């Protein structure tokens, strides 16, 4: 180290040279991420692609996935934005604990989340038993259960993103609104929310993508019933058991839809290249 310190100026001059030491692992990393996707394209049964795509099961699973992921994102927005606001803007005593709890679903395996949901909302669950005893309602293994499972795993992405945006926003604009006579509710709707809109949008997209790919919690809590709870990831897994070619087709469809939506939305909230 010491020997190099003397030649620091020399290193500066050579800064234009290609940094192989970083480039090699970077290229390897990129290859690692892209190669599997290329593999999908290479092994796709292009001759039968159209007929497989038009099978009713595929369409059902795709529609179910899009609908549930969108519903889960809507629920997450409704509950997650206020939660993020509480975390970012109030001095609640247990705020640190709450923030830790919010991020728990990010780190636990989704299957564990599914089991936990069953224990609480299942027919014999801590809360679910009352719904069943009093109203004869059972949540698990319904389409609603798919949404619940997706909200559980995906909402933290939204909360974290929106909280960050709220912390970064200039609060003096809220002061200005207050001097103009705006109540807290109006300030939130007309000033704060528009200010953090990019953060909310980014969080919503992350949340939607995560919900679309949800597998573990869904199959545990909602089961695998075609047309009702069988989303695309589940359909892919099932197809893999019977005909890998169909699994490839389904995977490509899921990939194409995700990419299309991500690329379509990206321009809206950030000028990032």
* Binding letters toward other proteins, positions 44-83, x by CB under 8 A: ----------------------------------------
**Residue 182, SS3 per DSSP:** coil
- Within positions 160 to 199, which residues make up the interface with other proteins, using CB under 8 A? 170, 172-173, 175-183, 186, 190-191, 194-195, 197
Return the CA Rg of the chain.
24
Nearer CB in complex with other proteins: 147/195: 195
Nearest to 161 by CA among 101, 204, 108: 204
Residue 150 Cα distances to 32, 65, 114, 156, angstroms: 28, 10, 10, 11
Rounded to a whole number of angstroms, the distance between the first and last alpha carbons of the chain is: 37
Taking the complex as a whole, how short is the minimal distance between the CB of residue 162 and other proteins, in angstroms?
A: 17
Q: How many residues bind other proteins (CB under 8 A)?
A: 18
Q: How far is the CB of 269 from other proteins (least distance, A)?
A: 13
- Of 60 and 174, which CB lies nearer to other proteins in the complex structure? 174
The minimum distance between CB 76 and other proteins, in angstroms, equals 23
Q: How far is CA 174 from its chain centroid?
A: 30
Residue closer to other proteins (CB basis): 53 or 169 = 169
C-beta closer to other proteins: residue 58 or 191: 191
DSSP label of 16:
G
- Taking the complex as a whole, how short is the minimal distance between the CB of residue 192 and other proteins, in angstroms? 11
Report, in Å, the least distance between residue 193 CB and other proteins: 10
Burial class (CB in 10 A: 0-12, 13-18, 19+), 265: middle
Binding mask 16-35 for other proteins (x = CB under 8 A): --------------------
Dig out the tokens for 245 from the structure.
């070619």
Nearest to 78 by CA among 171, 165, 151, 168: 151
Between 132 and 173, CB nearer to other proteins: 173
User: Least distance (Å) from other proteins to the CB of residue 187?
Assistant: 8
State the CB neighbour count (10 A cutoff) for residue 250: 26
Binding to other proteins in span 193-232, by CB under 8 A:
194-195, 197
Q: What is the dihedral of CA 194, 196, 198, 199, to 10 degrees?
A: -150
Question: How far apart, in whole angstroms, are the C-alpha atoms of residue 133 and residue 9?
Answer: 78
Least CB distance from residue 169 to other proteins, whole Å?
11
Give residues in contact with other proteins (CB under 8 A).
170, 172-173, 175-183, 186, 190-191, 194-195, 197
């Amino acid at each position: 180290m010491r020997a190099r310190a003397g030649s620091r100026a020399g290193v500066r001059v050579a800064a234009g040279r290609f940094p192989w030491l970083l480039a090699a692992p970077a290229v390897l990393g990129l290859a690692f991420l892209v190669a599997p996707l290329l593999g999908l394209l290479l092994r796709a049964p292009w001759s039968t692609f159209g007929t497989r795509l038009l099978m009713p099961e595929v369409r059902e699973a795709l529609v179910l996935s899009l609908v549930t992921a969108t519903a889960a994102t809507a629920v997450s927005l409704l509950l997650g934005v206020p939660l993020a606001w509480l975390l970012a803007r109030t001095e609640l005593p247990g705020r640190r604990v709450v923030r830790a709890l919010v991020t728990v679903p990010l780190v636990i395996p989704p299957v564990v989340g599914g089991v936990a949901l069953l224990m609480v909302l299942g027919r014999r669950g801590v809360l679910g038993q009352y719904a069943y005893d009093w109203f004869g309602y059972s949540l698990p293994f319904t389409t609603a259960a798919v949404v619940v499972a997706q909200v559980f795993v995906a909402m933290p992405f939204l909360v974290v993103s929106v909280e960050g945006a709220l912390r970064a926003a200039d609060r003096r604009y809220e002061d200005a609104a207050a001097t103009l006579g705006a109540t807290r509710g109006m300030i939130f709707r007309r000033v704060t929310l528009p200010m953090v809109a990019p953060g909310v949008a980014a969080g919503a997209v992350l949340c939607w993508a995560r919900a679309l790919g949800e597998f573990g919690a869904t199959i545990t809590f909602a089961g695998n019933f075609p047309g009702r709870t069988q989303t695309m990831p589940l359909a892919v897994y099932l197809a893999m058991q019977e005909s890998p070619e169909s699994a490839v087709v389904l995977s490509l469809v899921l990939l194409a839809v995700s990419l299309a939506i991500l690329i379509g939305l990206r321009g809206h909230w950030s000028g990032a290249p």
